Structure 1
């Protein structure tokens, strides 16, 4: 089954802005809230926007797929996948995959996807914004 491909600049711009925000958080936020929780919340929104920038799929199924992906990465952290793959010396692998499992990260991912669903299904339609087209 091939996914319907259609480039959507608004989603791409959103992904780009969120990526920039994530980089700033990684470089400059060394706190107890923004880096660990806001960053995790934003990363699922970033992934959602990136997927939607290129693939024309329904909002809910895309959001659920991104959430499952995020949960899977977090569970892989629990099982120390970076070490199992022999990538413990790779800074990129440690940053992208992560190295420490936290239950609260699952909540942050869920909140991020809830924001996506609220934005797509409630806020955007009331504001006359059509991100789907």
Structure 2
């Protein structure tokens, strides 16, 4: 397994932001939509931190994970596995199915893809295909 420190740091920052949103924001825009968009970006950066997935593969995987979790909400998976009353599980995995969430998930995947693709395309010539140097990643 590899650890890419830049993505790991981004994951930690996004996790802190998401926890702040979950604990302190009670509105109809930021918590449900911005939070869901950031959640997909969080999963994306987490995937890129520990895998060698390409930009498109990581974006699609993050989107797919969000979709699976949303369908888990539709089928009340937390209730079926005995975690329906667990506040942490309901906060992390959600508790209510909403078709509008798919828009937020797609937006998160597209934002992650676009930002990372643009960052990669701005890298100096010849650096995009080489393995990252030890100062930006390490092997675990």
TM-score normalized by the length of structure 1:
0.88
**Aligned counterparts of 2:83 and 2:75: Cα–Cα separation in 1:** 14
What is the number of residues matched between the two proteins?
128
Query: Larger strand proportion, structure 1 or 2?
Result: 2
Give 1:40's match in structure 2, choosing from 36, 39, 47.
Answer: 36
Please show how residues 1-133 of structure 1 align to structure 2 within 5 Å. 5-122=1-118, 124-125=119-120, 127-128=122-123, 133=132
Runs of 4+ in 1 over 4 A off after TM superposition: 129-132
Unaligned runs of 5+ in 1: none
Higher relative contact order (CA 8 A, sep 6+): 2
Query: Larger helix proportion, structure 1 or 2?
Result: 1
Unaligned runs of 5+ in 2: 133-140
Aligned CA-pair RMSD: 1.8
Task: Name the SS of the counterpart of 1:103 in structure 2.
Answer: coil
Kindly name which structure, 1 or 2, has the bigger radius of gyration based on alpha carbons: 2
TM-score normalized by the length of structure 2:
0.84
Moved more, 92-101 or 39-48: 92-101
